[in-house]
Structure 1
Amino acid sequence: MRELVALALHQELAEYLSLEEISSLLETPKSVQHGDVAFPTFALAKVLRKAPQMIAQELAEKINPENFEKIEVVGPYLNFFLDKKKVSAKTLALVCKEQEKYGDATIGLGKNVPIDMSSPNIAKPISMGHLRSTVIGNSLANILAKLGYTPIRINHLGDWGTQFGKLIVAYKKWGDEEAVKKAPIQELLRLYVDFHERAETDSSLEDEGRLWFKKLEDGDQEALHLWKWFREESLKEFQHIYDMLEITFDSFNGEAFFNDKMDEVIDLLEEKHLLKTDRGAEIVDLTDYNLNPALIRKSDGATLYMTRDLAAAFYRKREYNFDQSLYVVGNEQSIHFKQLKAVIKELGFEWYQDIHHIPFGLITKDGKKLSTRKGKIVLLEEVLNEAVASAKEQIQEKNPTLENKELVAHQVGTGAVVFHDLKNDRLNNFDFTLEEVVRFEGETGPYVQYTHARCASILRKTEWTVSTIDLNQSFALNDEDSWEVVKLIQAFPSTVLKAAEKYEPSVIAKHAIQLAQTFNKYYAHVKILTDDAEKQARLVLVYAVKTLLKEDLRLLGVQAPEEM
């Protein structure tokens, strides 16, 4: 719609404003009474040396009225009312033609975009704290793929670091092999929490932990054996959760993978004379960036996150020749990624500009942060299972004869948890309450899924299929309720672009909620199956809504059941 308005304006204003400049000035009126698109004339006042109100009046008389029902002047604004019949017919025909490919683009040109996401620590269960990175990263991968990029989902496992020295100490002192074999993750978590509680009164434990991690780095056989065992058991448990969420990865190369790749980075830093010694540790001074120094190597020779992340960045550039490299990591790590980019810039590599930290806020429980160290952990698997059970209960009440009840409950329950996360702007913190999440009413995943199932039901009743449609016939609709739906259908391609530009899946989730709400209002006001001249166009509208709700949900990583 904005394109139609921008083109019409550009025919009269090409001498003063480019098409892009006109597009950037267009606004969406707050009220439908003021039209579909508004153009403020303030920007032209100086160059035309006229009052904005006069400019608006003169423009209204000159603009080609094709594609518009009317153009109203309200003070300095031009309010455009689009031709509902023309726009609805074109939009609905295009969705019928392109189906789920509606909104696809080729701007990515197949370029690679590695996405560092999820990345739990081994020997710890996947908690609710890992949900955000996992589902935001997966959704961004789906969105970028729709625009023609090649996303590479990387699970950069936390499988290295001092914590594994601590865990080895805890296992050797208080662990039991049988207990670990019986319930690996739960027992390892218990040992990890136990270590920290004891270390509060016995500082020598921290020294022992550091010593055992150094042994692990030096290839000590016992340390390596225990570490591999912890890692294998962890991956089995992680995979179960990822299967529940239907999320796959292209790489599980974690921190340990980069152990033999750090020398290249350290050599480069030395070659550029960037390494400095500070209290025995080796650092890169980032004073010019108003940042604390980047710690590269500790005084005992052990490496740090920064060293491995630098090695990972160079590896990914070489391996994937990325167009963008995304790190979906919590907001609290923003300084770390600023340092990472600054060091790469100091080394003289321009691709530091293609690295993007995608931060996000916290999930809290009763307003409090979740902490593994203190043992205050909410297990993601338990939350997903509870959500599925809640969905099944509600489905039993609403539709007791539904086939595949177990499958639909799984799709609705897990989808509810994912959707609830992604409907929130990613930088916002939010408190998690299961009852709010798995509701079939309100701004929830189940509500959107239920609307999709409603559309499917309407089409089944009439045995309507898109394959029988003659795309040359008119799908024109002229009523206000259908027009509000058509506007949201038409906005879908630009919504996908906006979500990609902002790295913000909530843009898609909000479109899904708005489309579901607007369609349900239409459904309440209009008799869709009445046999008249517009029946076919109304069914095409239902099909378009069903197609886009399913695509919205797919981009978020949520299933769209045909029945609920």
Structure 2
Amino acid sequence: MHIVNELAHVLYQTLDGKLTEEKIQQMIEKPKYEHLGDYSFPCFELAKILRKSPNVIAPEIANEMQSPIISHTEIVGGYVNIFLQQEVIATSVLTSILQEKESYGTGSSGNDKVVTIDLSSPNIAKPFSMGHLRSTVIGNSLALLAEKQGFQAVRINHLGDWGTQFGKLIVAYKKWGKEEIVRENPIQELLKLYVQFHEEAETAPSLEDEARAWFKKLENGDKEALELWEWFRHESWQEFLKIYDILGIKFDSNDGEAFYNDKMDRVVKLLEEKSLLKESDGAQVVELEDLPPCLIKKSDGTTLYATRDLAAALYRQETYEFDQSLYVVGNEQSLHFKQVYKVLEKMGYDWHSGLKHIPFGMMLKDGKKMSTRKGKVVLLESVLKEAMELALTNIEEKNPGLVNKEAVAKQVGTGAVIFHDLKNYRLHDIEFSLEDMLKFEGETGPYLQYTHARASSLLRKGNFEPEGDASHHLPEAWQVIIQLYAFPEVVARAWSEYDPSQVAKYLMELARAFNKFYGSVRILDDTKWMQARITVVFAVTVVLKEGLRLLGMTAPLEM
């Protein structure tokens, strides 16, 4: 049972359906101060509907509201302030967590349906930059949230392993590259060559023509072009794997753009059969009513991103029979996805409605977008290494006797980087700041992990053994209890709104409530209340650990 859902249902019945339950859920608030109640319902919108003042409506509603979870209500201005039955809720939530452990908060809305998630998808022959972090960690968290709701999540890494940039890279390598130097440090050297190509092309535009010619050779299966391309791809993948390993992320498919080369003719044929292809200035397009035309084939016969994404959508539906297909791609691609989805709709595929673009803002450096072309990138691998080194230094200072320092430093360093991204609403741009990311206090990953370690240490000192039920009334732990109770609701909403930041913000509130409880009560000293209090501590470790897991982070037992 979710508190807000239950309260919304009670209010819906009280109001005789004057507002929908969904609308009531959106209106329910948390009061600013604890003494004003646990939840609050403002009556101002009802004033227009009922043609009465909010001050008249509030007591009428309060008198009618009845539920086993409501203790009493109070009226303040046009608000109904709702106080919950603390003992009923404490017993319910602690018993659930003791019995279900990490399964607590699991939903069933997925019903084993398939969700494909297109995430990460870096371009090969370029370094994995901080700019690629967002799609990777947002997509991974959404996959974990989908699984928590009972979906089968298929993680797809649609690598950028095709396109004119390979023509540029081949030209640059043949002109200025040396095999032994590239083999020693492949990604850095290929990036240097790529940047050099763009610098030289500014004064020698004929290089662009050479690059197009080499890419055409690659498309036609030229032996030398293919060998170089395969070498660049292999070296890139080995580098990417190191990063995915540090982040603890695995994929179900690493089929990139090249995989769809032999699947695009079929798309063009299908569009022709359905009389959707039109000629425009020598190119082939699909005209769309309220959007610019979707370009399918250029005048020189080469296919485009849209053609490839149409082929990928068809392939994924036929392979996985997905219920939803999410594309975790930057918000600058919004128009592209609208066009692709519209074309699929015109082709008569009713599953087009399950395709969703999950856009996100940019990772900025000094207020500007990071650019590989100009060589202005911050490399994710160096950020992760620096984060882990700093975490290790902190551990050496604060807890030199810790047994597995390196492993904990890895958990804390990577956690800091992941949380710094996911605590932000995905559509917002993020200013890259290594300093902010690695703080061990404030709204950071290390603060949450430290809270988990602190709570785990209490369990060890108290020799805690979980018992099956927990019927205790603990007013001093109430703010912790109510946070624990909200977890299933937060997880369900984070999935339905494709917004992992809701889990991140929730964990912050839970950790703060716990640390306040920890600071105000001597948990292990009072024998009468020790079992009850330590049960709350255990519940906090369960939910913190599971919440961190849903963000792609781990919860150290010691720090």
Q: State the TM-score bracket (shorter-chain normalisation).
A: over 0.9
Per the TM alignment, residue 162 of structure 1 is displaced from its structure 2 partner at its CA by 0.6
1:141-180 equivalences in 2 (<5 Å): 141-180=143-182
Match of 2:549, as an amino acid? R
Per the TM alignment, residue 256 of structure 1 is displaced from its structure 2 partner at its CA by 0.3
CA contact (8 A) 1:5 1:37 kept: no
Equivalent residue of 2:516, what SS? helix
Equivalent residue of 2:233, what SS? helix
RMSD: 1.8
Distance 1:106 1:324 in 2: 16
User: In structure 1, which of residues 465, 481, 489 is the aligned counterpart of residue 484 of structure 2?
Assistant: 489
Q: Which residue of 1 aligns with 2:463?
A: 463
Per the TM alignment, residue 204 of structure 1 is displaced from its structure 2 partner at its CA by 1.0
Match of 1:411, as an amino acid? Q
Match of 2:69, as an amino acid? N
Q: Which residue of 1 aligns with 2:544?
A: 549
Equivalent residue of 1:189, what SS? helix
Q: Which residue of 1 aligns with 2:127?
A: 125
Q: Which residue of 2 aligns with 1:241?
A: 243
1:221-370 equivalences in 2 (<5 Å): 221-286=223-288, 288-289=289-290, 291-370=291-370
Per the TM alignment, residue 164 of structure 1 is displaced from its structure 2 partner at its CA by 0.7
| Count of equivalent residues | 557
CA contact (8 A) 1:92 1:475 kept: no
Residue by residue over 1:138-197, the C-alpha shift from the partner in whole angstroms, topping out at 9 and shown as x without a partner, is 010001100001111101000000111111111122222212222221221111111111
CA contact (8 A) 2:28 2:39 kept: yes
1:2-81 equivalences in 2 (<5 Å): 2-9=4-11, 12-14=14-16, 22-42=24-44, 50-64=52-66, 66-81=68-83
Q: Which residue of 1 aligns with 2:398?
A: 398
Equivalent residue of 1:200, what SS? helix
Distance 1:224 1:71 in 2: 73
Residue by residue over 1:394-452, the C-alpha shift from the partner in whole angstroms, topping out at 9 and shown as x without a partner, is 11111111110000001100110011011111111111221221121110000000000
Equivalent residue of 1:401, what SS? coil
Match of 2:206, as an amino acid? S
Distance 1:513 1:66 in 2: 29
Structure 1 stretches (4+) deviating beyond 6 angstroms? none
CA contact (8 A) 1:152 1:250 kept: yes
Distance 1:421 1:49 in 2: 46
Per the TM alignment, residue 44 of structure 1 is displaced from its structure 2 partner at its CA by 5.3
1:474-485 equivalences in 2 (<5 Å): 474-479=471-476, 482-485=477-480
Q: Tell me, which stretches of 5 or more residues in structure 1 are unaligned?
A: none
Matched, 1:424 2:419: no
Equivalent residue of 1:533, what SS? helix
Distance 1:512 1:175 in 2: 49
User: In structure 1, which of residues 117, 136, 142 is the aligned counterpart of residue 138 of structure 2?
Assistant: 136
Match of 1:475, as an amino acid? H
CA contact (8 A) 1:475 1:540 kept: no
The more displaced of 424-433 and 384-393 is 424-433
Equivalent residue of 2:388, what SS? helix
Q: Classify 1:31/1:368 alpha carbon distance in 2 versus 1 (closer, same or farther; 3 Å).
A: same
CA contact (8 A) 2:95 2:468 kept: no
Distance 1:332 1:281 in 2: 24
Per the TM alignment, residue 351 of structure 1 is displaced from its structure 2 partner at its CA by 2.0
Match of 2:222, as an amino acid? D
Distance 2:61 2:364 in 1: 53
The more displaced of 360-369 and 99-108 is 360-369
Residue by residue over 1:72-95, the C-alpha shift from the partner in whole angstroms, topping out at 9 and shown as x without a partner, is 122332211112122112111111
Match of 2:392, as an amino acid? K
Per the TM alignment, residue 7 of structure 1 is displaced from its structure 2 partner at its CA by 4.7
Per the TM alignment, residue 476 of structure 1 is displaced from its structure 2 partner at its CA by 2.2
Q: Which residue of 1 aligns with 2:447?
A: 447
The more displaced of 177-186 and 37-46 is 37-46
Q: Which residue of 2 aligns with 1:407?
A: 407
Normalising by structure 1, what TM-score? 0.95
Q: Which residue of 2 aligns with 1:525?
A: 520
Distance 2:5 2:339 in 1: 41
Residue by residue over 1:336-391, the C-alpha shift from the partner in whole angstroms, topping out at 9 and shown as x without a partner, is 11111121122222222211111111112222321111111211111100000010
Matched, 1:83 2:85: yes
Residue by residue over 1:78-122, the C-alpha shift from the partner in whole angstroms, topping out at 9 and shown as x without a partner, is 211112122112111111111111100111011111111111111
Per the TM alignment, residue 31 of structure 1 is displaced from its structure 2 partner at its CA by 2.5
Distance 2:330 2:59 in 1: 51
Distance 1:556 1:399 in 2: 26
Q: Classify 1:50/1:383 alpha carbon distance in 2 versus 1 (closer, same or farther; 3 Å).
A: closer
Match of 1:515, as an amino acid? L
Distance 1:383 1:218 in 2: 39
Distance 1:451 1:358 in 2: 31
Match of 1:436, as an amino acid? D
